[in-house]
Structure 1
Amino acid sequence: MFGLGPTELIIIAVIVILIFGAKRLPDVGKGLGGAIREFRNVKKELSKTSPDTAANEDKPSQAESDTPLLQSKMAEKALEQVPVVKKVMEVKKKADAVKNLLQ
């Protein structure tokens, strides 16, 4: 596994415990698991909505446009997992709504 033996993995685990603390490790794991789950869901959602790439080999522009869409959805889902960023995004949406009303 990338040249990491059991000794190195134990040292890394001890450093992680020292940095995050034993009480916050379950929260960190839960957040990472939720982010990974959301990445998989977005990936499945996009693969269901987009047609097969083998059938549409003559349309490379659609594949190029799907990549930024996938990246933006994945980034948005990852940011929603962080509570502070979630509140900031809500405030930004409200500010945009007010801005649209004023225009």
Structure 2
Amino acid sequence: MLGNFQGWHLLIVLLVILLLFGAAKLPALAKSMGQSARVFKGEMKAMKEEDKPADAASSTTVESTSASAPRTDSASDHKP
């Protein structure tokens, strides 16, 4: 599909973008697109990091929950 895409096609696309957005708004548009891409990349990285500890934390949570369950001793049941 993009195999027939040549240099003059790119010039036409850039000209259409220039006409649509205007020369004054293009730097602001490029800056906002760059910031959006950076935020998206950071969020994806954070989601991957959250997934890794979550798997390990879920197994330790089950162990700590069963270990911290209240014990019932027969000596504590007797009233003085």
Task: Tell me how far 1:51 sits from its aligned partner.
Answer: 1.9
- Distance apart, 1:2 and its partner CA: 1.7
Matched residues, number: 53
SS of 1:23's partner is coil
- Tell whether 2:56 aligns with 1:38: no
Who is 1:19 aligned against? 20
Between Structure 1 and Structure 2, whose CA radius of gyration is higher? 2
**Unaligned runs of at least 5 residues, structure 1:** 56-103
Name the counterpart of 1:2.
2
> Which residue identity lines up with residue 23 of structure 1 in the other structure?
A
**Deviation readout 1:27-83 (Å, 9 max, x if unpaired):** 00011001100110000001111028xx8xxxxxxxxxxxxxxxxxxxxxxxxxxxx
Partner AA of 2:38 in structure 1: R
Q: Percent identity?
A: 28
Which structure exhibits the higher relative contact order, with contacts defined as CA atoms closer than 8 Å and separated by 6 or more residues? 1
TM-score, structure 2 as length reference: 0.60
Name segments (4+ residues, structure 1) moved above 4 Å: none
Question: 2:71 is matched with which residue?
Answer: none
In 2, Cα distance between equivalents of 1:37 and 1:8: 28
- What secondary structure does 2:2 align onto? coil
